[in-house]
Amino acid sequence: MKKHSVLPGFGLTMGFTLLYLGLLVLIPLSMAFLKASSLSWDQFWHIVTAPRVLASYRLSFGASFAAALINAGFGLLVAWVLVRYSFPGRAIVDGLVDLPFALPTAVGGLALTATYAPTGWIGAKLAAVGIKAAYSPLGVVIALTFIGLPFVVRTVQPVLVDLEREVEEAAATLGANRLQTFRQIILPAVFPSVLTGFALAFARALGEYGSVVFISGNMPMRTEIVPLLIMTKLDQFDYAGATAIAVVMLVISFGLLFAINILQWLNARRLSAA
């Protein structure tokens, strides 16, 4: 018996899917590669390996990795609290997690700068002990952590909801302590989702601009991120140079995301084999 679907047939649906992805993703990205191809290899290499560009790579990738790693740990903790505990105001806390999604990034950047600047509420206390938050690489990490937290929390939450508490109780009955239960029962179940949230937060942080541009101070060789450097080159009408840097970011980002997906696949195979 022929199965009917509310959506059009596979051919038409696939055609719309490819058209949609092509217009919004594939064609714009291919234009970046096409524009960069107008440069000779020597010109391209000179642009993407300039000292100022290399410094921005180090800051963008290093700060993005640090922020995603922080979110992986604390995002799991926040998701655990929201799923496993009932407390007054839980719905408000759950809604606050999504605030970086709804808040314009520039507004978030201004709020973070006002808070962590040397005259700000938290920044003044940090400055008193010799820690400079705003206008430093630490400020970049803070901003990227702020915008990446929802990705980990919302990825881990459904897994924790489906995780049976009876399994933990059975482990405790068999004599496992809390650390053993977490390491052998909970962590293997949530690790693929944590890794997915980490990858999403990392990818989001690499392209962040609005929330970082205020708190970083935009000092070349020190607190200048790659998206800001690309914008600077565009303001100088150096379109080929901007696209050359963008192509490098695309290639590295795709490579890192591919590696993370491979790790997820290997971990899923390990769990299924166990």
Written in H, E and C, the secondary structure of 101-112 is: HHCCHHHHHHHH
Residue 33 lies in a domain: no
Residue 31 lies in a domain: no
Question: What's the structural domain count of the chain?
Answer: 1
Cα–Cα dist 238/34, whole Å: 15
Cα–Cα dist 104/209, whole Å: 11
Condensed to tens digits (0 to 9), the pLDDT of residues 137-182 reads 999 999 999 999 999 999 899 888 887 777 777 777 777 777 777 8
Cα–Cα dist 242/271, whole Å: 43
Please, which pLDDT band fits residue 5 given cuts at 50, 70 and 90?
low
175 or 122, higher pLDDT: 122
Q: Does the structure show a pLDDT above 80 at 256?
A: no
Asked if 205 contacts 140 with a C-beta cutoff of 8 angstroms, the reply is no
Range of the domain at 112: 38-273
Select from 212, 202, 188 the least CA-distant residue to 249: 202
Q: State pTM to two decimals.
A: 0.84
- pLDDT recorded at residue 26: 83
Residue 11 lies in a domain: no
Please, which pLDDT band fits residue 8 given cuts at 50, 70 and 90?
low
Residue 123 lies in a domain: yes
Cα–Cα dist 52/12, whole Å: 48
Instruction: Please tell me whether residue 219 adopts helix, strand or coil conformation.
Output: coil
Instruction: Please tell me whether residue 11 adopts helix, strand or coil conformation.
Output: helix
Residue 90 lies in a domain: yes
Residue 158 lies in a domain: yes
In terms of Cβ atoms closer than 10 Å to its own Cβ (0-12, 13-18, 19+), residue 26 is exposed
Summarize the confidence of residues 226-251 as an average pLDDT.
Answer: 89
Which CATH number belongs to the domain containing residue 184 in this structure?
Answer: 1.10.3720.10
Residue 3 lies in a domain: no
Q: Does the structure show a pLDDT above 70 at 111?
A: yes
Query: Which amino acid type is present at position 258?
Result: F
The two most distant CA atoms of the chain are separated, in Å, by: 75
Residue 137 lies in a domain: yes
- pLDDT recorded at residue 252: 84
Looking up tokens 């990705």 gives: 151
